[in-house]
Structure 1
Amino acid sequence: MEAGTLSTELGIVIMLSVLAASLWIPYIVGVNIHPQEGVDDFARPPPLTGFPDWVHRAHRAHLNLLEQLLPFALLVLVVDRLGGYSALTFWTAIAFFWLRVAHALGMISGVARFPLRPMIFVGGWLCCLIMAYAAYAA
């Protein structure tokens, strides 16, 4: 790849970083449209138990994305540094992106229930393992 050319894999990391940086919004909207009496939100975040289920799921969707984005992004950077991009890393990055989008949307909406949501999360984990393999193979 030429200098200054953005790979698909790095582009995916950028898009996922923007998603992760924005996924706090549904949680904050939920917290603000369902205020809890007698709770100072700025002193300590309120317990999630007092909110509708979707607010709790929005919080977890944000945390789940962060849990997988960090290792995936680091692995992509290692593969980038080693010049190890291939068809495998290209399709793994695309799959990871759509799995993470499906996970966030499915979790917040409540559509992705057991066993679908854990299967999507495991799919993201497998993408991390494949990217790790690509790093070692480079």
Structure 2
Amino acid sequence: MSEIHWMAATGLMTALFWLVYVLNRFAVVGIPATLGNPSADAPPLSDWAQRAVAAHNNAIENFVIFAALALGVVALELSSALTVSMAMLYFFARLAHFVVYVMGIPVARTLAFAAGWAAQIVLALVILGVL
């Protein structure tokens, strides 16, 4: 497996995160209202679903950085066991981040975020020739 494999898997996973909170919207406002235009007076999502929205947004923001670094490693032909491992770590860290964020576990959320951030830093250091 390569950095591109893990980047694609992370992209697909991030693209699917919305499904979690849309199910809650179905329950809160109903399917017809969910499929219609958003309404300012609609009841709010459940707390866990609001956290899922925030986790999804965070995943999207961080995917941009990860994808640029993974593509940089591949384009510069710097792929190694370390960089593939960091790409894999990023995938699982983001999955863990989403799950614990939705569950409302703050310390675990921070640790999962930090693991993904550390993977990005290692990829950047490889590109910069420090590692």
Q: Taking structure 1 as the reference length, what is the TM-score of the superposition?
A: 0.81
Q: CA–CA distance in 1 between the matches of 2:121 and 2:96?
A: 19
Partner of residue 112, structure 2: 120
SS in 1 for 2:29: coil
Question: Any idea what the Cα deviations from partners look like across 1:34-86, whole Å, max 9, x if unmatched?
Answer: 118xx888444658982211110110121111121110011110110000011
Question: Please, what is the CA RMSD of the aligned residues?
Answer: 2.4
Partner of residue 52, structure 2: 58
How far off is 1:109 after superposition?
3.0
Q: CA–CA distance in 1 between the matches of 2:8 and 2:80?
A: 19
Give the % identical residues.
26
Q: 2:86 aligns with which of 83, 92, 116?
A: 92
Q: CA–CA distance in 2 between the matches of 1:98 and 1:48?
A: 34
Q: 1:31 aligns with which of 21, 25, 31?
A: 25
Q: Taking structure 2 as the reference length, what is the TM-score of the superposition?
A: 0.85
Of Structure 1 and Structure 2, which has the larger fraction of its residues in helix?
A: 2
Q: 2:121 aligns with which of 114, 126, 129?
A: 129
Q: 1:15 aligns with which of 6, 9, 13?
A: 9
- For structure 1, the residue ranges without an aligned partner over 5 or more in a row are 1-6
